[in-house]
Amino acid sequence: MKTVVRYLINASALLFCFQTSTAQQFVHPGLLQGREDLARIKNGVAMRIEPIFTGYNQLKDNRQSQFDYKMQGPMEMVGRNPTVGQGVYDADANAAYQNAIMWTITADQRYAEKAKQIVDAWASKLKSITGRDAVLMAGLGPFKMVNAAEILRYTNSNWAPVKIKQAEKHFKEVIYPVIKDFALFANGNWDSAALKTMMAIAVFCNDRPMFERAIVYYQYGEGNGSLPNYIINEEGQCQESGRDQSHTQLGIAHLADCAEIAWQQGLNLYGILNDRLLRGFEYTAKYNLGENVPYLPAMDRTGKYLHAQIATEGRGKLRAVYEEVFNHYVHRANKTATFTQKAAEKVRPEPQGTPGADHIGFGTLLYSRSLQTIDPYAKVKPCTPSGLTAMPENRSIQLTWVPVRGAIFYQVKRAVNRKGKFKIISSRVINAQFKDKNVASGRKYVYTVSAVNNKGKSRDAYPAAVTAGLPAGWSVTDLDPKSKKGQARSLDSGFTVEGTGMGFTGNEEQATYIHHKLVPYQTLAVHYQPQLTSQFTGFGISFRQSAKEKGIGVNLLIYPEVLQQLEAPKWVVTCTARLHPGDSLTQAGATLNVKEPVVSFNRMTGGCWLKLVQEQNQVNSFYSADGKDWQLIGTVARNLSLTEAGIIVFSGLEAVSTTVKFDQVRLE
């Protein structure tokens, strides 16, 4: 028997909303600056409109904005912690982006040639990004490189097609692999840096699945860098507010860049969760302007970072990140942003976004605009909705998608199973969400959504399929009834499990257990898909006599043996058994240390396989990094009358759950 259930499909084809002769997947240029923005900036400089013109002088006079800038690279390898060429890459990334902007303002081809020279050189030579902080290295400077490339590609800079293809290949094969699984093990600014660069690469490379993955992660990602996990409450407190103010400003600025890219693509990430992004900026700006804000100590998603009070380190040192958000909420959305505005005015004109390539900067030039009373997208047929997700709840399915600019309402369609015909189940949904209460447990449904305004209806979003509840035969049990309740949701061929509890120690069992009936001579194999959230997480598989606490069973588990260094535990695989109800667990076989590529820098960043095989009167347990070469971990040679097979997940912490994905679950 093979479990094949889909929980969430990242969806929707993004089309150029304005009518063109051929449909396009993305709006171009469509990262931090669209065509209208570049025209507005160019006109503002030509007409000496303030504060744009003063902002232009900040850019023009910067040493990395010169067409005679001396390129410092390229290099074959760059890295962070240990540092290898970090400053070299970041300086050249700054220069590439800044020269690209200068090209659009001045029409001086020499700026375009400099920007192309830098992008081409690094795209042809850089082969790897290394170090313990590689994700951060790949999430910062490369964001500027991709923005430069996007501008050059779509502003008649005479960039050779072969060089454009080289840049696409470089971004997808050198940069993207480093950031593809985000940074769930770290503070949120890492996660959000990876997120914005992923969005940028997706747009430049016209890669819709990559873009959809990023859009969904921005809203629902398990790590510290998704919007609700970084700006943790309605007051605007941030995950790093208790760490220091520099990193807090870094994190919210990354999220703002994501929202701006989405805006250029016809999507309103700025407005989700009741303008949560603005609340984070207001809270941070208010505190850094010297005023008091409420603070609630809160454990982060990794389980490593708990700050008793808001940080004073870096307080008052405003970064060049406020103009983008101030101008959106006040001049586009016509809302109040009192402290964000004060911060923007205090920094104005925004300089380069130092240190290194942390921020774009120059926001006074790039984002200053007058009040926009009508969104241009209200005058054209809406874009296709993006980020359609379908989440099973108790006897219902909750649909959400990113609000579409200019949409008046949405139409929701549903089909039963993939071969069924779509039928409209709601024709005038006002908000970008819908709860389908007319569902049957265990049945698969497929949904799509379209946006409607006075100019017409968009194309249907890419379908999202989901099973209401778990597939037939599967159940979820908390092995310790006193633990916080865990849950599981179906994936295509596996599950996402949110688990709780301290794990398996002695005769104690605290974990979330998702299980199915086991018959003799069966095999259970699962593939862990990186990455997990709580860095104290344990997970694995089990054959048990029942779902009762402290019952007879065999377990194959991966978990961290926490050393003195909290950031560097040793990850191990063990097989344990309980031969009689209530007995302590005994180990079967040796402990295996998990090594690269599954573990890197003491983090579980790679996927791996676990397998239990029941044959005759014994159970054998196996581990594999690739699903091909299997290593025997232990054998339990007893007839234990095992009748259940399942997945075990525990967070290793009292107050924090963990999220673990198993993209393949095979019970055969």
* Domains along the sequence of the chain with CATH: 35-376 (1.50.10.100), 380-467 (2.60.40.10), 475-667 (2.60.120.200)
Q: What is the pLDDT of residue 589?
A: 93
Q: For residue 462, name the pLDDT band (cuts at 50, 70, 90).
A: confident
CA gap 580, 570 in Å, rounded: 30
Average pLDDT over residues 8-31: 48
Whether 110 has a pLDDT exceeding 80, the answer reads yes
Handedness of CA 403, 406, 408, 410 (dihedral sign): negative
Q: What is the pLDDT of residue 563?
A: 66
Query: 588-600 pLDDT, tens per residue?
Result: 999 999 999 999 9
Average pLDDT over residues 630-650: 94
Q: What is the pLDDT of residue 551?
A: 86
Average pLDDT over residues 569-574: 95
Looking only at the bridges linking them, the beta strands covering 653-667 and 128-130 are unpaired
Average pLDDT over residues 36-52: 97
Query: 198-207 pLDDT, tens per residue?
Result: 999 999 999 9
**Cβ-proximal residues to 406 (8 Å cutoff; 6+ apart), any chain:** 17, 266, 375, 376, 377, 378, 379, 380, 382, 383, 451, 453, 455
Q: What is the pLDDT of residue 156?
A: 96
Across the chain, mean pLDDT equals 92
Q: What is the pLDDT of residue 564?
A: 65
Residue 591 · residue 615 · CB < 8 Å: no
User: Residue 187 — φ and ψ, nearest 5°?
Assistant: -60, 160
Portion of the chain with pLDDT greater than 70, in percent:
96
Q: What is the pLDDT of residue 10?
A: 29
**Cβ-proximal residues to 438 (8 Å cutoff; 6+ apart), any chain:** 425
Q: What element of type H or E holds 524?
A: strand 523-529
Q: What is the pLDDT of residue 394?
A: 75
Q: What is the pLDDT of residue 19?
A: 31
φ/ψ region of 661 (left if φ > 0, alpha if ψ in -120 to 50, else beta) reads: beta
User: Residue 163 — φ and ψ, nearest 5°?
Assistant: -75, -35
Q: What is the pLDDT of residue 21?
A: 28
Q: Provide DSSP, 217-261.
A: HHHH-SSTTSHHHHB-STT--BTTTTT-HHHHHHHHHHHHHHHHH
Q: What is the pLDDT of residue 16?
A: 31
Q: For residue 362, name the pLDDT band (cuts at 50, 70, 90).
A: very high
Greater model confidence, 2 or 316: 316
Whether 7 has a pLDDT exceeding 80, the answer reads no
Greater model confidence, 22 or 634: 634
Facing residues of 402 across strands?
386
**Eight-state DSSP code of residue 372:** -
Q: What is the pLDDT of residue 225?
A: 98
Average pLDDT over residues 213-238: 97
**Cβ-proximal residues to 423 (8 Å cutoff; 6+ apart), any chain:** 413, 414, 415
Among 257-266, 555-564, 629-638, the minimum mean pLDDT is found in 555-564
